[in-house]
Amino acid sequence: MQILNDLNVEYEIVDYLNNPPSADELESLAIKMGVKARDFIRTKEAVFKELNLQLHLDDEHFMFQKMSENPKLIERPIIVKGERAVLGRPPNKVEKLLNL
């Protein structure tokens, strides 16, 4: 958020823990970012291991469903601008997106 403040950009914060995105919304974000579910899931979260998700990383639908049901699995922050999106790490990705 600091980078957005520094760039003087208006933004909206989505509290995904209390209002998790649906599997369809996660799929839409993946398309906007040009990545697969496996690319923005937090594999070090305890729930990832508890649900034994390593075996399912290539099953997009399954992974989006699990991410929606367990929003702690979603890598963050995700910055969206129109039809494009990026993971907010490293920060230069955000700058690049916003300067398009």
Q: What are the boundaries of each domain within the chain?
A: 2-8+20-98
Q: How many CB atoms lie within 10 A of CB 67?
A: 28
How many Å apart are CA 31 and CA 35, to the nearest integer? 6
3-state helix, strand, coil in the chain (%, to 5): 50, 10, 40
The pLDDT of residue 15 is 82
| 3-state secondary structure labels for all residues of 20-53 | CCCHHHHHHHHHHHCCCHHHHECCCCHHHHHCCH
Class in CATH terms, 2-8+20-98: alpha beta
**What would the pLDDT profile of 10-61 be if each residue is shown by its tens digit?**
766 778 888 999 999 999 999 999 999 999 999 999 999 999 999 999 999 9
How many Å apart are CA 60 and CA 87, to the nearest integer? 18
